[in-house]
Amino acid sequence: MSVETYTPQAFHRQAHDALGSPQIRSNFRKAMDGLMSKRRDVFSDWDLEALRELGANIRLRALARLPELLERLEANCEASGIKVHWAEDGEEACRIIRELCEARGAKSVIKGKSMVSEEMHLNAHLEAAGIEALESDLGEYLVQLNEQTPSHIIMPAIHLNTDEISTIMHDKTGLARTRDVDVMTAAARAQLRERFMSADIGISGVNFAVAETGTLCLVENEGNGRMTTTVPPVHIAVTGIEKVVEHLRDVPPLYALLTRSATGQHVTTYFNMISSPRKRGEHDGPEEVHLVLVDNGRSSIYQDDELLDTLRCIRCGACMNHCPVYTRVGGHTYGTTYPGPIGSILMPHMLGLEQTKDLPTASSLCGACGEVCPVKIPIPDLLVRLRREAVGEGRGNVPGAGVKRTKKEVAAWKGWQWLATHPSAWRGGTAIVGKLQALTPSKLGPWTECRTAPRPAKRSLHALVKRHQAGKDKSDAEKSAANHVIKKGKDEEERS
């Protein structure tokens, strides 16, 4: 199987391919339908609005005090023996981690799930340095075996169905073909247990980093996160600088929101809170724990009051689960580490609008993402903001701002503006359009590939209201009711 590469520049082509794949369509539809209904059920006995309000409020408070909290987190971690590192970008974070590996003479790394490590392409970096990095989350493991990237931030292998996974397990690990999920899971358990025991270093992400106590919280179901952070002699946690929260008491509401929003679970199997390396007298756990804090564009997002909301995200994936676009095109189509609505408001900051200009428009602004976001990020508003930045009408503080501004489009909008601010010209225009109704094209580019073209009415509302006010439409009204169906049928005939 060849390495599949997806890029945000190729969004349209990738969307075309995904839409044409019955496999992709049905895998995602089925999975997203299930996730939406589970989420709805699990929140049914909650005051969801109050909980979301609290979640948003906790995240906003953390951001409001971000520099101070990062320093407290660092001080409290260091006091209990967790070494803290800072990285400006993914490259620097990769270098820090590689050097930590080299200092230990590490040859093999086992990884718990970490989207930040995906964001910085850590595996490729380590492998180039001769260090093997193996994913241990089952979904990540399968995706890695298949030489792909995750298609969902919580369920990385959601684009694959049982048969496809059976083939991957067969081709890559020699497992006899089976559709039995328990057999496949047991095989992966056996394969990965060997690697946990022999790994030199475990690398994980962090869901919440608590400043008050210097605690790293990891949310998971499988136990691979606990394995990764307990079995190897060194644990390196890597996370974005925005993941910090102020107090330990801030954690329960966010955890409650995260699991319910992500997978509709009232709780995950494990909530793993790490506050120090193995202490004297303790018998297991890593001797060294490192925390790598990665900026990678986050401090730039932080500068702007409106964009700031992006950083409230707790990476639950509910926005993609509820996105009608994501559901149809799947995660790989976006060509970015974070797909779906959150990706479309986050990735432009990381990659620049030159590469990601099609992402903010890949939304009908239906608002489903914002409606379910557990920390109330106004995702549709942020999509519009990035559209503004892309056409050069924002604040210019997103990389690649203005890249989509073309003379042709500006002229079109200026023309529209002129017409819509000159009422008599508008009325004249709509009247003319109505008179020329019969000449309207029945083909309107892609619109009419699956729909008939809308046809301007003979008389505009402005004209109808005039007649109405003059009392001339009394008979029209009666006719209109009776003729509705007939008239419509005739229209169809005339046009075809």
Partner 1 sequence: MTPVKLYPPKPEKVYFFGTCLVDLFYPEAGLDGIRLLEREGIEVIFPEDQTCCGQPAYTSGYQQEARAVAVAQLGLFPESWPIIVPSGSCGGMMRVHYPQLFAGTEHERRATEVAGRIYELTEFLIHVCHLALEDRGGPEKVAMHTSCSARREMGLADTGPALLAKLGQVELVEQVRATECCGFGGTFAVRHPEVSAAMVDDKTRAIEAAGASRFVTSDCGCLMNIDGRFSHQKKGIEGEHIASYLWRRTS
Partner 2 sequence: MSARDAILKRLRERTDGALNAPDSDFSVVTGRGWSIGERLERFERLITSVHGEVIHTTHDNWTVDLAELLHAKGVHRLALGREHPVAAEARSALDARDVVLLDADRDIESWQQEQFESTDAGLTSTRGAIAETGSLWLWPTPDEPRLISLVPPIHIAVLDADTIEDTFFDVIEAHGWADGMPTNALLVSGPSKTADIEQTLAYGVHGPRELVVLVRHAEERK
Judged by CB under 8 A, the chain residues 432 through 471 that form the site for partner 1 are: 433, 445-457, 459-465, 468-469
Beta strand 215-220 with 82-87 is unpaired
Instruction: Answer for the pair 262, 316: CB distance below 8 angstroms, yes or no.
Output: yes
Distance separating alpha carbons of residues 400 and 402, to the nearest angstrom: 6
User: For residues 289-308, which are near partner 2 according to CB under 8 A?
Assistant: 293, 295, 299-300, 302-305, 308
The span of 26-34, 328-336, 366-374, 452-460 binding partner 2 (CB under 8 A) equals: 26-34
**Residue 60 found at the interface with partner 2 (CB under 8 A):** yes
* Single residue of 3, 176, 470, 481 touching partner 1 by CB under 8 A: 481
User: For residues 196-225, which are near partner 2 according to CB under 8 A?
Assistant: 197, 212-215, 221-224
**Residue 176 found at the interface with partner 2 (CB under 8 A):** no
**Residue 58 found at the interface with partner 2 (CB under 8 A):** yes
- Judged by beta carbon, residue 253 or residue 317, the one nearer partner 2 is 253
238 three-state secondary structure: strand
- Judged by beta carbon, residue 285 or residue 434, the one nearer partner 2 is 285
* Min separation Cβ 85 and partner 2, Å: 8
For residue 124, the partner it binds in partner 1, partner 2, none, with Cβ less than 5 to 8 A by kind, is none
* Single residue of 8, 90, 139, 240 touching partner 2 by CB under 8 A: 139
User: For residues 336-375, which are near partner 1 according to CB under 8 A?
Assistant: 358, 361-368, 370-371
Instruction: Answer for the pair 222, 137: CB distance below 8 angstroms, yes or no.
Output: yes
For residue 393, the partner it binds in partner 2, partner 1, none, with Cβ less than 5 to 8 A by kind, is partner 1
Query: Which strand ranges, in their side-by-side order, compose the sheet holding 234-240?
Result: 82-87, 288-294, 234-240, 201-204, 108-111, 132-135
* Single residue of 275, 440, 452, 460 touching partner 2 by CB under 8 A: 275
For residue 477, the partner it binds in partner 1, partner 2, none, with Cβ less than 5 to 8 A by kind, is partner 1
- Judged by beta carbon, residue 140 or residue 309, the one nearer partner 1 is 309
**Residue 40 found at the interface with partner 2 (CB under 8 A):** no
With CB under 8 A, what is the number of residues at the site for partner 2?
A: 100
Unique residue bearing structure tokens 């790994």: 199
- Judged by beta carbon, residue 12 or residue 193, the one nearer partner 2 is 193
User: For residues 90-129, which are near partner 2 according to CB under 8 A?
Assistant: 92
Long-range contacts of 448-456 (CB under 8 A, 24+ apart): 452/495, 455/491, 455/495, 456/430
What DSSP state is assigned to residue 267? S
* Single residue of 15, 18, 24, 66 touching partner 2 by CB under 8 A: 66
- Judged by beta carbon, residue 197 or residue 410, the one nearer partner 1 is 410
Instruction: Answer for the pair 143, 149: CB distance below 8 angstroms, yes or no.
Output: yes
215 three-state secondary structure: strand
Distance separating alpha carbons of residues 360 and 355, to the nearest angstrom: 11
* Single residue of 420, 435, 472, 479 touching partner 1 by CB under 8 A: 420
Give me the DSSP letters along 257-287. HHHHHHHS-SS-SEEEEE-SSPPTT--SS-S
Instruction: Answer for the pair 327, 119: CB distance below 8 angstroms, yes or no.
Output: no
By the 10 Å C-beta count (0-12 exposed, 13-18 middle, 19+ buried), 375 is classed as buried
* Single residue of 100, 122, 157, 318 touching partner 2 by CB under 8 A: 157
* Min separation Cβ 485 and partner 1, Å: 7
- Judged by beta carbon, residue 70 or residue 362, the one nearer partner 2 is 70
User: For residues 325-364, which are near partner 2 according to CB under 8 A?
Assistant: none
For residue 170, the partner it binds in partner 1, partner 2, none, with Cβ less than 5 to 8 A by kind, is none
22-42 and 251-263 are packed helices; what angle lies between their axes, rounded to 10 degrees?
A: 140
**Residue 19 found at the interface with partner 2 (CB under 8 A):** no
Beta strand 132-135 with 201-204 is unpaired
66-79 and 48-64 are packed helices; what angle lies between their axes, rounded to 10 degrees?
A: 80
* Min separation Cβ 443 and partner 2, Å: 42
Residues 6+ apart with CB under 8 A from 378: 309, 370
Q: Mind spelling out the 3-state secondary structure of 413-482?
A: HHHHHHHHCCHHHHHHHHHHHHHCHHHCCCCCCCHHHHCCCCCCCCCCHHHHHHHHHCCCCHHHHHHHHH
- Judged by beta carbon, residue 223 or residue 456, the one nearer partner 2 is 223
CA 173 to chain centre: 31
**Residue 255 found at the interface with partner 2 (CB under 8 A):** yes
The span of 185-193, 317-325, 370-378, 380-388 binding partner 2 (CB under 8 A) equals: 185-193
* Min separation Cβ 65 and partner 2, Å: 5
What DSSP state is assigned to residue 379? H
The span of 70-78, 260-268, 308-316, 381-389 binding partner 1 (CB under 8 A) equals: 381-389
**Residue 465 found at the interface with partner 2 (CB under 8 A):** no
Unique residue bearing structure tokens 């169809």: 492
User: For residues 25-64, which are near partner 1 according to CB under 8 A?
Assistant: 33
**Residue 253 found at the interface with partner 2 (CB under 8 A):** yes
Comparing CA positions, the residue from 221, 209, 212 lying closest to residue 259 is 221
User: For residues 373-412, which are near partner 2 according to CB under 8 A?
Assistant: 397
By the 10 Å C-beta count (0-12 exposed, 13-18 middle, 19+ buried), 12 is classed as exposed
